[in-house]
Structure 1
Amino acid sequence: MRAQFGLADAPCCDCCVHFCCEACALCQEYKELKARGFDPDLGWQMAAAQNAGAAAYPPAPQQMGR
């Protein structure tokens, strides 16, 4: 989400934030999405349909590679 919206990596890296306090990190992500006009309560499919013009696409399928 940080890369998609161009957010600053401060005061520490995402790995540290999620490791030390996952609940706080998820709360911050929820608030960021709400501030940008998304409704996380709807789930991914409904939010993508609601914001079709906002370029909200699910990630591409991934496969194991060598």
Structure 2
Amino acid sequence: MDALGAMSWPMLLACAIGLALFITILPLVLTLFLIFLLVKWASNSGGFGWDKKTAAQQPPQ
């Protein structure tokens, strides 16, 4: 608490805004990372998407 009391008002405001941005953006970044990771994992498991191997092995007509 002594460190907060020793800070000037503009510095205290900058620290508060920086902390608020950090607290707001960090969960958003982690959530988006997990969503994209799960989508990539689901697409690799064969649930949906095109199978490139079977498309390349079909003979031309």
TM-score normalised by structure 1 residue count: 0.28
Task: Name the larger-Rg structure.
Answer: 2
Bigger fraction of residues in helix: 2
